Amino acid sequence: MPGATSIVLTGAGNVELTRRILADLFTVPELRGTLRIVLHDIDPGRLATAEELAARLNTEAGAGARVEVRADRRRALDGADFVVCQLSVGDYQTTLRDFEIPHRHGLRQTIGDSIGVGGIFRGLRTIPVLVALAQDMTEVCPEAWLLSYTDPLVMTLWAIRKATGQQRLAGLCHGVRDTHAFLADTVGRDVEEVSFFTAGITHQAFVLRFEADGHSLYPEFARAALAHPTSVRTRMWRSFGFFPTESSEHAAEYVPWFMRYDAEIARHHIPVGEYLSRVGQNLHGYEEVRRALAATGSLLNRWREPEVASVVMTAMLTARPARLNLTVPNDGLIAALPQETVVEVPCRVDQEGITPTVVETYPVQLAALNRTYLNVAELTVHAALEGSRAHVDHAAMLDPNTAAALPLAEIHDLCDEMIEAHRELLPAGITAGTLGGADQTTEGKS
């Protein structure tokens, strides 16, 4: 297929996401007969399922795509125009340890995939894999776009930039889109009627403008919110002035004010350990796809909206531009946040690529809150790239929820136990390292 657009799905064994992306792309008329789809995964069984799924969708849609399977990552990347990253490092037992060990130390978590002790150790496991992927891309497909769903998104994209200088990358998340739909629905409007401007960092962005017919809808939302139970998000909105994009269960563990207190957990209906049930649902979803492949029903059009990766690639490959929030290198987009990090801002996507919007005015209280998140992300990036055991402790000590719940000595002991539990998946320097910080000072010496 000379001149075909090559799209690599790495982590293709995440078959429900693979299904949504391919079903979207295969039903775009302008892309019929133009796509080369390369599937990559380290799990042979899941890769085989992804291959069967892609072939079925291709036939059902009449897409005329060429579908290939590559177990070797560099071979998969060869000639890529887009690389969609949707992988997870570790298995269910790995995630279980992210929750059970902190719980034994008295630390509560809800999702634990982007911040907190769970997020830190997910980052330490995932950063080396994604950096290696990006390094392969610079050698094998230097002009390709990296589109990543992989959490912790801020940590991994920051590390990729720092280690490789990669600029053609974007993080993908459903949070902003879902929040816009929620806000519009709460005030009884279709989302298309409402003008939004939302910015910040992934999982901690804020709706800065929420308008229709030339006026703010926040007063209407305030009246409507009185009829709903108090949630973490509404409490954050009332405290900081702007509605946050992340779900209440996720937002609760990014700050020090909720998870430590039994009364706050009850008042805001915070589901401690929620992510474990989601992982179980994902395992169930894989089996559902396998059952669907054994049946004769359609695998197309089984969801409400196009997948984010599909929107981005379709906009770049056709004459249909799109506007959506993406996570991209900061580089002055939000001046109050570190320039070397990544931020989530509205972007125009078209055949020229991704053009992010500069946020001219970003409220100082939001930037201050974001920096408490970015402190943890930055230290985790340094810990992973430098193999620094000391920075693991530093990240955990500065994590808002962990700092609110545990004293310093307990945090260090928790990190020790987590390192031992995840030893096989961590950078070698961390597993061999020793405690830094205060224990290395010269206090008391002449």
Indicate the burial class of 8 (C-beta count within 10 angstroms; 0-12, 13-18, 19 or more): buried
Q: So what's the pLDDT on residue 435?
A: 44
Residue 8 phi/psi, 5-degree rounding, is: -105, 125
Q: So what's the pLDDT on residue 304?
A: 62
Following DSSP, what letter does each residue of 259-278 receive, concatenated? Answer: TT-HHHHHHTT--TTHHHHH
| Domains of the chain, earliest start first | 5-90+114-171 (3.40.50.720)
> 80, 38 in Cβ contact below 8 A?
yes
At 355-381, the pLDDT tens digits run 999 999 999 999 999 999 999 999 999
Residue whose entry in the numeric block shows the structure tokens 């020790």: 416
Task: Give the C-alpha separation, 426 to 415, whole Å.
Answer: 12
Q: So what's the pLDDT on residue 195?
A: 98
Q: So what's the pLDDT on residue 283?
A: 72
Residue 273 phi/psi, 5-degree rounding, is: 75, 20
Task: Give the C-alpha separation, 309 to 20, whole Å.
Answer: 9
> 7, 36 in Cβ contact below 8 A?
yes
Q: Which parts of the chain register pLDDT below 50?
A: 434-446
Q: So what's the pLDDT on residue 35?
A: 98
Q: So what's the pLDDT on residue 285?
A: 80
| 21 token code pair | 């992306």
At 410-438, the pLDDT tens digits run 999 999 999 999 999 999 899 885 444 33
Residue 174 is a catalytic residue = yes
Handedness of CA 97, 389, 398, 250 (dihedral sign): negative
At 160-193, the pLDDT tens digits run 999 999 999 999 999 999 999 999 999 999 999 9
Cβ neighbours of residue 317 closer than 8 Å, sequence gap 6 or more: 5, 30, 31, 34, 351
Indicate the burial class of 429 (C-beta count within 10 angstroms; 0-12, 13-18, 19 or more): middle
Cβ neighbours of residue 9 closer than 8 Å, sequence gap 6 or more: 18, 21, 22, 37, 38, 39, 40, 50, 84, 86
Strands (E), 63-222: 66-69, 82-85, 145-148, 169-171, 195-201, 204-212, 215-216
Task: Give the C-alpha separation, 82 to 446, whole Å.
Answer: 59
Q: So what's the pLDDT on residue 3?
A: 73
Active-site hit among 40, 103, 174, 268? 174
